[in-house]
Structure 1
Amino acid sequence: MIRYDLTDSVATVTLDRPEAMNSLTAEVKSALLEALRRAAGDDQVRAVLLTGSGRAFCAGQDLREHADNLEAGRGLAGTVREHYNPLVELITTMAKPVVAAVNGVAAGAGASLAFACDLRIASERAKFALAFSGIGLAPDSGASWTLQRLVGAGRAAELMLLGEPVDAARALELGLVTRVVPPDDVLKAAGELAVRLAQGPTRAYAATKRALAYAATHTLPEALELEALLQDECAATRDHRDATRAFLAKERPSFTGR
């Protein structure tokens, strides 16, 4: 259901329902949230890699379970507030960089999870689909917030209203993904990127994530003030002191995340 591995300070979290294109049941969503919380709270983890097994990254909500809920009169059964909202909030606010290895189809909430990550490496076979309107639903899992920050309001409206799939090449052109690689290389490329981040200044990365999210919804003076506060915090870190010494000595800095 969910596989968790910690290697080289990278926690790899894998959605493991390949027979169902890694679609999300209530059980899977709970396990995914638990795995991400584990990664967020573990000081040995300095970067997170999120991916799927088989031919899909994640096909979104498990529609068989959803249909059963509709038949039973339970509708969405609170899954947006109980599952999706905490997942997206955790990914976007985690004090560590999160990389998505999009190995195949990312649809609905699956696409939203990828968009919530800080960086996305996509297979040439990857496809993104904001399929909410196609089944008479509004966007969820933070897509209304993340997507327009990636591609702009106009493109976000187009992708959500029309629900047409976006292939990897178009996703790269739009800015949805960081890089596109051959299918056999996606996990390797994403893993190398995650390891690179795990070897970097973790607290500076956390401050960068916080500054970007804050600046998106605040005025310039407010953003400047937060930048000043965050810079003071980073200036007091061991990583900053050691990196400054290394720079002056013309050496390559070695970061500890402290």
Structure 2
Amino acid sequence: MPDTPVDLSYDGPLAVVTFHSPPLNLFTPAVMDALASALGQVADSGARGLLIQAEGRAVSAGVGVNFFATLDAVSGAAVWRDWLQVVHALEDLPIPTVFAAHALCLTAAFEISLACDLLLAAESARFGLVETVVGLTPSMGGPQRLVERAGPARARELIYTGELFDAATLERWNVVNRVLPDDGFREAAHAFVLRLANGPTRAHAATKLITATAARDGARAADDLTPLVSGALFASDDLQGAVSSFLADGPGKATYTGR
């Protein structure tokens, strides 16, 4: 693993971003700058899926508290504006994005996971928004994205208590999408996202846009958008090839190139 806080690699159409800042993968401005750079490269690469993961005994123990000690009201607001731009860049990628949490996942890392389309967790993973210990509220978009997944009451419970929650509990609350066994978790998560990356990329982008519109503006707004974005898929190579494959060989045999 390169001596950088964020590593970017590729497996065919799949981009893999790995946090690597031992021992606890603490978030700092340097880590966020490196993440922003990696996401920019992914956006320009033609990748058709993104996996975000971490190396080490923790996904992340959160933001380095030493950094908080340097902030005041003005500089603190500026930091959150900058870091939310990174979150938005992740959300705006028109490809499936999946966060794989293998262990303890706190504060900034948890908030980044909530900006991904899907969240996979190992059985022993634990999650927490523990900013209450320093008198802060999560400020990288976590509260509002928890509301989308679990509702406002659950979001407040996670944040007010500052407790750690296991993967099974958060799966019940619709925060975690799937809980996978600890043994072989990294390989299983990678295979899952690689399958998405090899799928109908433009259809996935349409799905992402429609569901995001529905969450933000309601079902009728998504209805208004659907004919435009779904109709355009009929001009794609992937749909035309998949239809031909279906008619000739039956379902499930089409391959996709992302065009």
TM-score (normalised: structure 1): 0.92
Match for 1:28 among 28, 31, 46?
Answer: 31
**One-letter amino acid matched to 2:95:** K
**One-letter amino acid matched to 2:142:** A
Q: Does 1:16 align with 2:20?
A: yes
Which residue of structure 2 aligns with residue 80 of structure 1? Answer: 80
The Cα of 1:146 is off from its aligned counterpart by 1.3
The Cα of 1:61 is off from its aligned counterpart by 1.5
User: 1:217 is paired with a residue of what secondary structure?
Assistant: helix
Q: What are structure 2's unaligned runs of at least 5 residues?
A: none
Q: Does 1:254 align with 2:249?
A: no
Aligned positions, number: 253
Q: Name the CA distance, whole Å, in 1 between partners of 2:162 and 2:211.
A: 28
Which residue of structure 2 aligns with residue 198 of structure 1? Answer: 197
The Cα of 1:128 is off from its aligned counterpart by 0.8
Q: Could you tell me whether the CA contact under 8 Å between 2:97 and 2:117 is conserved in 1?
A: yes
**One-letter amino acid matched to 1:47:** G
Runs of 4+ in 1 over 3 A off after TM superposition: 72-75
- Report the RMSD for the aligned CA atoms in angstroms: 1.8
Q: Name the CA distance, whole Å, in 1 between partners of 2:74 and 2:55.
A: 30
Q: Could you tell me whether the CA contact under 8 Å between 1:150 and 1:176 is conserved in 2?
A: yes
Q: Does 1:56 align with 2:58?
A: yes
The Cα of 1:52 is off from its aligned counterpart by 1.0
Which residue of structure 1 aligns with residue 220 of structure 2? Answer: 221
1:20-169 maps to which residues of 2 (within 5 A)? 21-43=24-46, 45-67=47-69, 69-70=70-71, 76=76, 78-82=78-82, 84-169=83-168
User: 1:78 is paired with a residue of what secondary structure?
Assistant: helix
The Cα of 1:102 is off from its aligned counterpart by 0.4
**One-letter amino acid matched to 1:209:** K
User: 1:18 is paired with a residue of what secondary structure?
Assistant: coil
Which residue of structure 2 aligns with residue 176 of structure 1? Answer: 175
Deviations, residues 173-232 of structure 1 (Å, cap 9, x unaligned): 222212222334221111001110111011111111111111112243322110111111
Which residue of structure 1 aligns with residue 186 of structure 2? Answer: 187
Deviations, residues 23-71 of structure 1 (Å, cap 9, x unaligned): 111111100110011112211x11111011101112222112222x14x
The Cα of 1:130 is off from its aligned counterpart by 1.2
Q: Name the CA distance, whole Å, in 2 between partners of 1:220 and 1:149.
A: 14
Q: Could you tell me whether the CA contact under 8 Å between 1:93 and 1:210 is conserved in 2?
A: no
Q: Does 1:2 align with 2:1?
A: no
TM-score (normalised: structure 2): 0.92
The Cα of 1:155 is off from its aligned counterpart by 1.1
Q: Name the CA distance, whole Å, in 2 between partners of 1:40 and 1:57.
A: 24
The Cα of 1:106 is off from its aligned counterpart by 1.3
The Cα of 1:171 is off from its aligned counterpart by 1.7
The Cα of 1:8 is off from its aligned counterpart by 2.2
Distance 1:140 1:206, change over 3 A: same
Q: Name the CA distance, whole Å, in 2 between partners of 1:215 and 1:23.
A: 34
Which deviates further from its counterpart, 214-223 or 153-162?
Answer: 214-223
The Cα of 1:73 is off from its aligned counterpart by 8.5
The Cα of 1:89 is off from its aligned counterpart by 0.7
Q: Name the CA distance, whole Å, in 2 between partners of 1:220 and 1:110.
A: 30
The Cα of 1:139 is off from its aligned counterpart by 2.3
The Cα of 1:147 is off from its aligned counterpart by 0.8
Q: Name the CA distance, whole Å, in 1 between partners of 2:73 and 2:90.
A: 31
Which deviates further from its counterpart, 182-191 or 197-206?
Answer: 182-191
Distance 1:119 1:73, change over 3 A: closer
Q: Could you tell me whether the CA contact under 8 Å between 2:102 and 2:122 is conserved in 1?
A: yes
User: 1:122 is paired with a residue of what secondary structure?
Assistant: strand
